[in-house]
Structure 1
Amino acid sequence: MPLTSEHFRVITTTVPRPGPGEVLVRNRLMAVTAAMCTMMVAEELPIPSYRRGSPLWGAAIGEVVAAGPASEIEPGVLVKHGLGWRDYAVLEATEIDLIVPADAHDPGALLSHGAPAWAALRGVARVGSGDTVFVSGAAGGLGTLAGQIARHLGAKRVVGSTGSPEKADRLRRELGYDELVMRNEGTVTSQLRLVAPEGLDIVCDTVGGEQLEAAVENANTGARVALLGALSGQLGGDGLSTPTRLDSALLIRRRMEIRGVSLRDHPDAEREWTRVFVDGLAKGSFSFPHTRLHGLERAPEALRELVAGEHMGTVLVEL
């Protein structure tokens, strides 16, 4: 069922006070992601699902405005935490990450979706010099960074998928992609054969379904396939259910590796990516495509527009 404004309510309540070991944070920015749709409808996830009638949550950046006894945190510092979708949040001091001044020149960049792509392409798929990389969902918050990461790691050729000619043009001009295959313009399999006749060495899949099937069919012997999302199911309202038909004989014959990627298995990826990304932004070797909407009341609209494919890159709400 499509999201509408009737699925959300903005509640006004008193600002809480921090207790011992807690801090009160005034949120400045929050991220909106496709996974939030899944968390509304799916029950069996590696992270808690949302509950009807309770506040939503997600990655956010804010300023500590008050600190309880024994918190050892000074008011005024910027922090990253997991209680977005609200103006103020009370958290245990152990639940926040301090933002160092060197990382704070554009705090929104710290809400990027690059860490999973970094873990997938560097740690799991092991992108190297000469590789041809395919990224499905290239215009999303993860995909816009995955192309840049692949190029940073030495990929010879980067191919992606998207559904908009305008997005495809920007992905080519700005974000490291050589070619794009278009949804609804012929089969993905036939398009991949045209734009990557040498085959695919690395697949970074965020979509599943037909696009994953096509990528595997066009993959080379020894290809590494990293699974990062299931957007064809997530955005279709079916949670994480994304049926995909793969030829097991083909997988064996070409000795492919297929692995699901979770940051739970890569505890250092977030810190590594932040260091690489912040340095790359300062040097101009990375860019941060994103959209900002203003006001907590616009967060539901931001999520609906994200699901509809109206935005490119990371979607942030400034509070």
Structure 2
Amino acid sequence: MKQVNGEKLLASLGEGVKDIRGRLTPDAPMDRVTWFRAGGLAELMFQPHDEDDLIAFLKILPDEVPLTVVGVGSNILVRDGGIPGVVLRLSAKGFGFVELAGENRIHAGAICPDKHVAAMAMDNGIGGFAFYYGIPGGIGGAARMNAGANGSETKDRVIEVRAIDRKGNKHVLTNAEMGYSYRHSDAADDLIFTSVLFEGYPDDRAKIRAEMDAVRNHRETVQPIREKTGGSTFKNPEGHSAWKLIDEADCRGLVIGSAQMSSLHCNFMINMGQATGYDLEYLGEEVRRKVFETAGIKLEWEIKRLGLFMPGREVRPFQGVTTE
């Protein structure tokens, strides 16, 4: 059952779209762009040519049309009914750059893969970025959620984040203005991150390479990186590891439809073949229920769930109360 009508939405934008240089795709399949390879259609997907093109589009987009930013699609789960309104997917051509920006500083576009920043830093003897080598996704998402690994976090390296709001106005947010905490920032939801300026410190290239190799080897050993997965499914509750709670709740390898909690790393949810958004979200909520019953702890999703349920295929979120 089709839940969106992209051609109608595109037509409603009027003559202004003729000046847009980026790609506008009605009824775009989200299972082609998300790492889970599941989910419904984007009513209208927009891939801007560059920052000016993005601003021009935002200025003609009516306020009442929903706008969803998906980045590289690494940590999102799209529901089977699709995403209404416009889905913004920044293009690699305009937003995938990474460059030196002064002594020990790196400037990266929002769609630049995290690992490319790590590689740039290593090539130029800049320390503090090796942890990015093991984080899937792009820099914009990393800055938004304060992505981290191996004891390091994005907030440790950010100088400023450059963004555009829904009206097409430019903003520059300092590290303090981002309001970082564990896997979270206080940045307004309507801000579209376009690039991030980082600062590291002088370090030995061979040492950095060894750190990156260790990150890569560890990740290949303990994470299902060759599966269709969105990365870590749940945040670590304070004082606990999510994977351990999931394991203790006997959810390692748990299967719903074609979705599974990985047997290799049970905080990674994987699409074993033809899993639907329903399968994946239902599995996640079942894990949350089982963990609460076992440990009295309510896991919080790290994966973002986007869009509409198909009629009759809604997933009710677990409503347990967190114990103090």
After TM superposition, the score normalised by the length of structure 2 is 0.27
Highest relative contact order (Cα 8 Å, sep 6+), 1 or 2? 1
After TM superposition, the score normalised by the length of structure 1 is 0.28
